[in-house]
Structure 1
Amino acid sequence: MTSMTPSPVAKGQLRSHVVTISAVIFAIALIFFFASSIQQRLSAIGLGVSFDYLLAPAGFSLAQSIIPLPPGSSNLAAIGVGLANAMVVALVAIIGSTLLGLLAALARLSSNPLAARIGRFYVNVVRNVPLLVFLVFLYLAFLSLPSPRVAAPILGSFYFTNRGIVVPGPEFSPLWTAVGFLLLLICLCARFMPSRPRLLISTMFSVAVVIILGTARYQVPSLVGFSIKGGATLSNEFAAMAFGIAFYFGAEMAEVIRAGILSVPRAQSEAAAALGLRRSAAFRLVIAPQALRLAIPPTINVYVNIIKSTPLGVAVGYAEIMTVTYQIMQNTGRAIESVIVLAIIFMAINAACSALLNGLDRGR
């Protein structure tokens, strides 16, 4: 006869859930208590908290934005545009820091003394310089570049000028881009299927990337008169933010990747060598997959720090969410509400990153 008494493991899990739920309820009640007290005290002196200003017209425009901000848009729309600008910088910085960190980590682990010293010098120097100082220095360096009419093209297509960096710009076909993103959405949904057809997912992903990039038209910039025509222009503010954050956190990623590689037992590489695998094949097939699993938690932490570093764009005049929020605070005088909105947005982003971390940990 099966006993209906819960096992000790089930009792422990139930007790853990009860404690967690109780702590969350207590924290929410505490927040509401302090919020109510602050609201009453502010109302007593005529400074009540109100978020009606979010729907009021912004009254300003942004020089550069990923999403256009039409005249007469609300403050909430301006905050959304600033958030989009910040996320684009974060995405570019995440990709750049990961690639740069991988190169630096491999250089530090290299048997070549020169490569190891260069990697060590890069990590030690960059990690001891404040990010804000580095961003301002890089921004001033971009401003000291030559003017467009005297700038020499690099590789025949790239212009580095004091008005921005001009690169070949793609023009995507709306129809084929929609088809490509539909395939990417199908790939994302297929990853949650019980069977997980990996070959089909990989094939569809490759086809989607080929469709999106292969059907685009690329404009090559060229000097016409005293200005550069064609291509896409990256402002000095965007370049300083994206390249600066990527270069700075590349040193952090180098240490994360290096630690992940060194955490793999030496016996694994010896076993791969005993099987006759070359050093490159052993790293790709044996060492790298295990190091990737070990490096997932600290890697997500670095990505979260990259996202939280985007408000430093206010120091170089980049129109990210902190710059937009500061402008709204000056126009409306709603400092407390603006800080609360900014805090909620970043808390939501960090919560999403934490959920991603937990999902990757469960899938290891």
Structure 2
Amino acid sequence: MKSPTPPPQRRQWSLNSRATRGLLFQLIALVLIALGIWFLAHNTQRNMQVRGIQSGFDFLGSAAGFDIGETLIAYDPSESYGKAIWVGVLNTLKVAGLGILFTTILGVLLGVGRFSRNGLVRGICYGYVELFRNVPILLQLLMWYLIFIEVLPASNEAWSIAGLFFLSKGGFAFPYPTAGLGAVTAGAAVGLVAVWLWLRRVQQRFEATGHDGDRLWTPIALVIACAVAGWAISGMPTEWNVPEQLVFMVDGGVSATPEFMTILVGLVMYTSAFVAEVVRSGIQSVSRGQDEAAAALGLDPRQKMRLVVLPQAMRVIVPPLTNQYLNLTKNSSLAVAIGYPDVVSIANTTINQSGRAVECIAIIMLVYLTTSLSTSLLMNWYNQRVAIKER
């Protein structure tokens, strides 16, 4: 016989209740914060009106009137300030996305390299970390920019690789397909899903039987096979836009400007040094007994690192790694120092032409706040997935 369910207790709204006092104090704090924000906004608005300064976001629909040297989407100077700022946002996201990808790869390699049995490899990794993390990022950006501008040859004398890739002061030009690219990308995306399913099956088999499967070449083959299948489904197009060396310049293909290469290389080299230290500390947090137990099971050094050490180290690595991703995204705002048209650079030009400083700065803050919060949410989700589940 089930015991009767007790009736729900009613909240006692009394100042003698700790819960009631806590709720009251929180409401008072929210009211004070709201009043403070209202006072600052009202005071700013009134001072701008007194000085005859226009305000509002209506300027976003006006013609920008300035060109942007590097864009991911089509843009014309006759288009609006809103379109120009959106171009800057996309340029910022491009740098941040590629920077996080390459930083992760290089930082993990450097961090693992600190434990190499080869003294030369350990020394190179240690010297890299100590050099790049102790020099300010702005100085490194200026250094890389000078290297790309002063060391590389002129556009009419570009360094060429197989007549397809050209590197010069004008940037790095390389060929790209003019047809079938969407189908190949879709095929590669399907391949990534297949890779996830394959790795999941391999892991389940390893946990059940102790027999490991191929985690490198089979995933690579799956992605390539699916990409080729997408190309075949699209009709096997063979049209490519190939760069060509002309008398004064390199024409055709896709070109990465010196400014883009500077900000990307600078951010990756700088942030990867910190990521390497995060990885090293995470690996060192795993007890020596785990390594000895893995050796007793007959695992080779590569398997010990991949199957035993790194999975346990991830719970220590992921939280500070998230901070480094956020730092990389925010440090991309330094691109204005070397002339890369990111959201900060384009917003500064918009301020000079429209005079809407408060609105443009608010847009910049909103962009970086959104990207940082999105990165944090994604990394927190991943941190929960890799966390060790305790009984």
TM-score normalised over the length of structure 2: 0.78
Equivalent residue in structure 1 for 2:313, among 291, 296, 307:
291
Give the residue type in structure 1 aligned to 2:39: F
Native 8 Å contact 2:184 2:227 kept in 1: no
| Aligned residue among 159, 184, 202 for 2:166 | 159
Q: Provide the residue aligned with 1:348 in structure 2.
A: 370
1:74 equivalenced with 2:77 (yes/no): no
Find the residue that maps to 1:159 and give its secondary structure.
strand
Counterpart among 13, 24, 40 of residue 34 in structure 1? 40
SS at match of 2:255: strand
Verify the 8 A CA contact 2:173 2:243 in the aligned structure 1: yes
Cα distance change, pair 19–46 in 1 and its aligned pair in 2 (3 A): same
| Residue among 160, 173, 176 paired with 1:169 | 176
Alignment equivalent of 2:69, drawn from 63, 75, 81: 63
Decide which of 261, 264, 275 is 1:242's aligned counterpart.
264
CA shift for structure 1 position 80 = 0.6
SS at match of 1:330: helix
Structure 2 residue aligned with 1:140: 146
Give the direction of change, closer, same or farther, for the CA distance of 1:36–1:19 in structure 2 (3 Å limit).
same
Q: What is the deviation of 1:304?
A: 1.0
Pick aligned residue for 2:286 from 235, 248, 264: 264
* Contact map agreement 2:96 2:332 (CA 8 A) in 1: yes
Aligned residue identity for 2:40: F
Alignment CA distance shift 1:163-1:272 (3 Å) = same
Distance 1:342 1:69, change over 3 A: same
Change (3 A) 1:182 1:273: closer
Deviations 1:182-205 (A, max 9, x none): 8589x59xx9xxxxx9559x89x8
Is the 1:96–1:247 Cα contact (8 Å) retained in structure 2?
A: no
Relative to structure 1, the CA distance from residue 70 to residue 291 in structure 2 (aligned partners, 3 Å threshold; closer, same or farther) is: same
CA gap of 1:355–1:209, structure 2 versus 1, over 3 A, is: farther
CA distance in 1, matches of 2:98, 2:140: 17
Contact 1:172 1:212 in 2 (8 A): no
SS at match of 2:348: helix
Are 1:357 and 2:369 matched, yes or no? no
| Alpha-carbon separation, structure 1, partners of 2:364 and 2:134 | 29
Tell me, yes or no, if structure 1 residue 282 matches structure 2 residue 304: yes
What is the aligned partner in structure 1 of residue 208 from structure 2?
A: none
- Equivalent pair of 1:268/1:286 in contact (CA under 8 Å): yes
User: Which of structures 1 and 2 has the bigger CA Rg?
Assistant: 2
Task: Provide structure 2 residue ranges, at least 5 long, that are not aligned to the other structure.
Answer: 10-16, 203-218
Quick one: which amino acid aligns to residue 239 of structure 1? M
Name the CA distance, whole Å, in 2 between partners of 1:12 and 1:279: 56
Letter of the 1:87 partner, please give it.
L
**Identity %, equivalent residues:** 32
C-alpha displacement of 1:133 = 1.1
Q: 1:117 aligns with which of 98, 117, 123?
A: 123
Gaps (5+ residues) in structure 1?
A: 192-196
**In the TM superposition, what whole-angstrom CA distance separates every residue of 1:85-116 from its partner, at most 9, and x where no partner exists?**
11111112111211111221122222222211
Q: Which moved more, 1:171-180 or 1:68-77?
A: 171-180
**Quick check: 152-161 or 287-296, which moved more?**
152-161
Tell me if 1:320 matches 2:355: no
Question: Aligned equivalents of 2:46 and 2:273: distance in 1?
Answer: 48
The CA distance in 2 between the partners of 1:239 and 1:216, in whole Å, is 30
Distance 1:65 1:234 in 2: 11
Judged with a 3 Å threshold, the aligned counterparts in structure 2 of structure 1 residues 20 and 109 are, in CA distance, closer, same or farther, namely: farther
Query: What's the secondary structure of 1:38's corresponding residue?
Result: helix
Offset of residue 300 of structure 1:
1.5
Establish whether residue 302 from structure 1 lines up as the match of residue 324 from structure 2. Answer: yes
In the alignment, what sits opposite 1:194?
none
Distance 1:30 1:4, change over 3 A: farther
Conserved in 1, the CA contact under 8 Å of 2:186 and 2:227? no
- 1:157 to 1:265, Cα distance in 2 relative to 1, 3 A: farther
Look up the SS of the partner of 2:159 in the other structure: coil
1:63 match: secondary structure: coil
Q: Matches of 1:334 and 1:356 in 2, distance apart? A: 33
Range 20-29 or range 47-56, more displaced:
20-29
Q: Give the conservation status (yes or no) of the 8 Å contact 1:325–1:338.
A: yes
State the aligned residue count: 351
Per-residue deviation, 1:250? 1.0
